[in-house]
A and B are shown apart, each in its own frame.
Chain A
C-alpha cells in the first residue's frame, strides 16, 4: 500500500516527475558517454602504443634501456627464444635489431630509428603490416625498407625511390647502406611515422656488423592483464644478464595518466551526482510543501512518522529506479552503435594523433562503471529525498491540517 501510494504520488505531478526523470536520464547518459569515451580513449592510447612497437613485454640485454647502443645486443638470443617458446603464456614474439641513425634521400635527411625485423614475426606482434598505405609490406628481399608517411613527405620520396641509411657500427665507425622503399605506412601516431623505419634484420645486422645478433624481443602475451606475473617468471628463467620490461614499465606516463583520468572521471561523476541531489532535494521539497495538508491528515489518523518518511524516500527511490532503467537503455542504445562506429573527433585529430590516439574514438563501457552508475542514481535519489522527508515528519499535525 505504501508502494501504491508512493507510485501514484509520483504521477500526480507528471511534469515535475518527468523533469526529475529526465535529469537522471541525462545525467546517466552523460556519465555513460564520458566514461565510455574516456575509457575508450585510454584503451586506444594504450593499445596504440602496445601495437605500434611496445608490445606487452620486451626483453633486452641488461642495461640496454639506459644506453641503447649497438653493442648492447642480447648475449644469447637463442636461449631467450627457447625460453619464450616454452612459455605457454607467450602468444607471439618478434626479434628486432635496433639502431638510431640517419636516413637520407636526394633532397633531405632525417634522424630515424632503424628497426631490423623478420617480417613474418613482426607481423604477429605489431600493426605495422596493416598500416601500409602505399606499396607493400617487407618481403624477403634484403634491400627493402618501410618508412612512415610523414618521413616520406619530409624526404620527398615515394615507393620505389632509393634512400641511404647510416648508423654507427659495432666497431665504432659509420656503416651505411642503400635501400629501396617498398612500402609507406601511416599509424595513429604522427611522431612514430616520422622516426621509425623498418628493414630486414639480416640487412641491418650486416650494416652494423653484429653477426646474427638481435637487440630486442617484443612479446605479445595471451592476456595483457597478466604481464607482471609473466615478466616475473621470465626474469627468473633468464637471470640477471637480461632485463624484462612490461608495457606498464615502459609507458609509466601513460599508465599514470590513465589513473589520473579515472580519478577525474570519478570527480566528474560526483559533480553530476551532486547536481542531481540538489535537483531532487528541490523537487521533493516542493512536492512535500504541496502536500502539507495531506500529511497533516495522515499524521492525525496516525500514519507513523517512520512510514511517512519511508513513503517520501520511496517516491524518490522509485524515480531513481525508473530513471536509471530508462537511462540505462538510452545510454546503451547510444553507446553500442558508437562503440562500433566510433566517435569521429577529427576536428581535434591533429592534436590527438600526436598523442597516439587516432581521430576516431570507440567508447568502451566497462562492466564496473555500468554497475556503479546503476547503483549510483537510486542512491542519489534517496539521498536527495532524506532532507525533504525529514521536513515532512517534523510537521505538527494541527499546523499541517490548517496549512493553506
Chain B
C-alpha cells in the first residue's frame, strides 16, 4: 500500500539572493512498512528532502501525497495536526526537552494528543520496557549519553503509533555499537508495528542495513 508519493520535487533556497538548487526533481514512492535509508554526501539535499516529506517545509515545485492526499497545498494548521497524529520525528540531536525526564518527554507527545494522564504513564513505561530503556525513565537528558537520548527520542517518535517516522541522521553522533543498537530498535519497531521509517545517513554501517537505499547527489536521486 502506498503511503507517500513525491512528484517532481524541486526546492530552491535563496542564500542572500543567490538561488541554491537543493532538490532538482525528485520522484519517489514509499509503501507502508518500508525501511528506507537516504544516503548521499553533505549538501546533497537529504535534510531538505526529509523536511519536505515531513511537511516541515514547502517545495518550490512538485507535489507530495501523504496517504493519497496532496499535502503541498494544505494549511499550516492542518499540516501540524497531521504531523501530530501521523508522523514521528527524530532529529540529529537535541530531540528531548532538557527539563523533562525521559518518561516525561515521551508522555509529553501523548499529552499533545490529549491522551489522559493516567493512561500516559503506563503506555510510556510499557514502550520503554519493550525498547529496553526502562532504566532511563527518570533521567533527564543531561544525565544520559547521546545514544541513550536518541533511543528515548525513538520512543518519543513512535509512542503515538505514527504511520511514518522521519529521522535525519539519527546516528550521526553515535559510536558504531550504539548506532547499531539504535538501528536494531528501529528495525524491531518496523517489523513489529509496521511503522514506516525513512532516515538519512552518511554512515556506511547504517546504509548497509537499509532495506531500500536511495542515493542523493546534488539534489537528484542517483540509483
In the complex, the answer to whether A300 meets B111 with C-beta atoms within 8 Å is no
Please tell me if B8 contacts chain A, counting CB pairs below 8 Å: no
Any B CB within 8 A of the CB of A302: yes
Q: How far is the CA of A293 from the CA of B81 in the complex (A)?
A: 20
Q: Do B89 and A1 have beta carbons less than 8 Å apart?
A: no
B113 to chain A, nearest CB (A): 9
Closest Cβ of chain B to A399, distance in Å, is 9
Interface flags, A296-308, vs B, CB<8A=1, else 0: 0111111110010
Whether the Cβ atoms of B94 and A300 lie closer than 8 Å is no
Q: Which residues of B contact A102 (CB under 8 A)?
A: none
Residue of A with least CB distance to B57:
A398
- Are B99 and A302 touching (Cβ within 8 A)? no
Question: A301-B89, A302-B84 are contacts. A294–B56 as well, Cβ < 8 Å?
Answer: no
Which of B38-46, B100-108, B210-218 is the contact stretch? B100-108
Answer whether residue B98 sits at the interface, using C-beta atoms and an 8 A cutoff: yes
Chain B hits for A8, CB < 8 A: 99-100
Are B99 and A9 within 8 A (Cβ)? yes
Bound CA–CA A5/B157 (angstroms): 19
Taking A1-B107, A5-B99, A8-B99 as contacts, is the C-beta distance between A301 and B94 under 8 angstroms? Answer: no
- Interface membership of B144, Cβ < 8 A: no
Interface residues of A in 275-307 (CB under 8 A from B): 293-294, 297-304, 307
Q: Which residues of B contact A322 (CB under 8 A)?
A: none
Contacting pair A298 B97 (CB below 8 A): yes
B21 within 8 A of A: no
- Cα A1 to Cα B108 with chains together (Å): 8
| Cβ-neighbour of B104 out of A4, A297, A303, A397 (below 8 A) | A4
**A366 → B minimal CB distance (Å):** 41
CB distance from A17 to the nearest CB of B (A): 13
- Provide the bound-state CA to CA distance between A307 and B80, in Å: 13
Q: Which residues, 296 to 342 on A, are CB-close (under 8 Å) to B?
A: 297-304, 307
Which B residues lie within 8 Å of A294 (CB)? Answer: 94, 97-98
Query: Interface residues of B toward A: which range?
Result: 20 to 34
A401 CA / B51 CA spacing, docked (Å): 11
State which residues 222-278 of A face B: CB under 8 Å.
none
Inter-chain contacts of A397 with B (CB < 8 A): 56
Residue interface mask B13-55, A partner, CB < 8 A = 1: 0000000000000000000000000000000000100010010
- A300–B97 touching, CB < 8 Å: no
Note all chain B residues with C-beta closer than 8 A to A12.
Answer: 98-99
Q: How far is the CA of A297 from the CA of B100 in the complex (A)?
A: 14
Least CB distance from B103 to A in Å reads 12
**Would B56 and A300 count as touching, CB distance under 8 A?**
yes
- Is A297 a contact of B99 with CB atoms below 8 Å? no
CB distance from A18 to the nearest CB of B (A): 17
User: Can you list, as one digit per residue, whether each of A115-152 has a CB less than 8 Å from chain B (1) or not (0)?
Assistant: 00000000000000000000000000000000000000
Given contacts A9-B99, A12-B98, A297-B94, contact A302 B83 (CB under 8 A): yes
A270 to B157, CA, bound (A): 48
Known: A5-B97, A302-B112, A304-B112. A297 touches B91 (CB 8 A): yes
Cα(A293)–Cα(B94), bound, Å:
7
CB-defined contacts of B157 to chain A, threshold 8 Å: 301
Closest Cβ of chain B to A155, distance in Å, is 78
- On chain A, the residues within 8 Å of B80 by CB distance are 299, 302, 304
Instruction: Output the least CB separation between A338 and chain B (Å).
Output: 40
Contacts of B56 in A (CB 8 A): 300, 397-398, 401
Evaluate contact between A301 and B99: CB separation under 8 angstroms: no
Q: State the CA gap A402–B96 with chains docked (Å).
A: 15
Does chain A have a CB within 8 A of B95? yes
Find chain A residues with CB under 8 A from B89 CB. Answer: 297, 300-301
**Chain B neighbourhood of A293, CB < 8 A:** 94
- Please measure, in the bound complex, the distance between the C-alpha atom of A397 and the C-alpha atom of B80, giving whole angstroms: 11
- State in angstroms the CA–CA spacing of A240 and B81 once bound together: 81
Let me know if B109 is at the binding interface, CB within 8 A.
yes
- B156: interface (CB < 8 Å): yes
- Segment 1-32 of A: residues with Cβ below 8 Å from B: 1, 4-5, 8-9, 12
A9 to B98, CA, bound (A): 9
Set of chain A residues within 8 Å of B81, measured between Cβ atoms = 302
